[in-house]
Amino acid sequence: MLRDLCPNYLSKILIEGRDDLSDDTNLELFECVRVRVLAGERIFSNVNEGATGTASSAGFTNEEINFTKMGMIALNILADVLYDLLKPDKPHLRQRCECDIAYLYGEHRKLNKYVPSNSSHRRCPPGPWGGTWQDIQNTDISIGDDIERIRLTRNELQHSEIFKLDEIRFNELCNILSDVLNRFDNHIKPTRLYTDGLNEILVKTISAEEVKSIANSISGLTIEVEIEN
């Protein structure tokens, strides 16, 4: 599989024009896979690139700080949730540092233990896995539904063309994820509550270095895949 060739699990995969983590394309069916890595680009506002200290003092906007916080939530807390949920059913799971949301979501789909409710009967792709935000109703609160909410949050950040998240959407995602993490706190019962980690990030003063780090982690690469028979 492509992810086995790339230990950091390439963040954005374009396969014949398709880019969707819900796709189950099996690259092992092909004899040759060529991977080309292109530098991604996100344009910050008027920022002193050499600045240190807080993100605000360095010139980053509130929207860029919002994006950074949501990125920290996704890369750390949401990935932790998927890992902790999967671990009991896969005792030989790779170490947490080797697993990102893309990989963990794929493993949950293959396991097919926590199936989304599919209340809206989505057809593209055929349910119950995959789909868009519109496919998940507020009343869909199964574990599988929350796995999909984590995927959709990750994709929204990963596929964004700008490193900004306005206040309205930021608050919407915070409310969604607060409910999601509260349910996982009750189900997994982690040593440290996921909601505590969420609240810590939300009240945190973000540094300029953290903004740059999240920008590199989320948006650094675009991957093009060429498949030869």
What contacts 24+ positions apart, CB below 8 Å, involve 47-51?
47/208, 51/208
Q: Which domain holds residue 79?
A: 47-219
DSSP 30: S
Share of the chain above pLDDT 90, in %: 59
Q: What is the pLDDT, as a whole number, of residue 68?
A: 96
Share of the chain above pLDDT 70, in %: 71
In a domain, residue 159? The reply is: yes
Note the pLDDT tens digit of each residue in 142-190: 999 999 999 999 999 999 989 999 999 999 999 999 999 999 999 999 9
For helices 143-158 and 62-72, the axis angle rounded to 10 degrees is: 140
Strands 13-15 and 32-39: unpaired
In a domain, residue 4? The reply is: no
In a domain, residue 133? The reply is: yes
Nearest to 182 by CA among 166, 198, 169: 198
Secondary structure of the chain: what % helix, strand, coil (to 5)?
Answer: 50, 10, 40
Give the distance between the most distant pair of CA atoms in the chain: 53
- As for how many domains the chain has, the answer is 1
164 compared with 15, residue with greater pLDDT = 164
Asked if 164 contacts 215 with a C-beta cutoff of 8 angstroms, the reply is no
For helices 79-86 and 143-158, the axis angle rounded to 10 degrees is: 140
What three-state secondary structure class fits 117?
Answer: coil
9: left (phi over 0), alpha (psi -120 to 50) or beta: left
pLDDT beyond 80 at 39: no
DSSP 77: I
Note the pLDDT tens digit of each residue in 98-127: 999 999 999 999 999 999 987 767 766 777
Asked if 93 contacts 2 with a C-beta cutoff of 8 angstroms, the reply is no
In a domain, residue 97? The reply is: yes
In a domain, residue 17? The reply is: no
**Once rounded to an integer, what is the mean pLDDT over residues 135-145?**
93
**Once rounded to an integer, what is the mean pLDDT over residues 201-210?**
96
| Whole-number Å distance between alpha carbons of 138 and 15 | 32
- Sheet of 13-15: strand order equals 13-15, 221-228, 32-39
In a domain, residue 13? The reply is: no
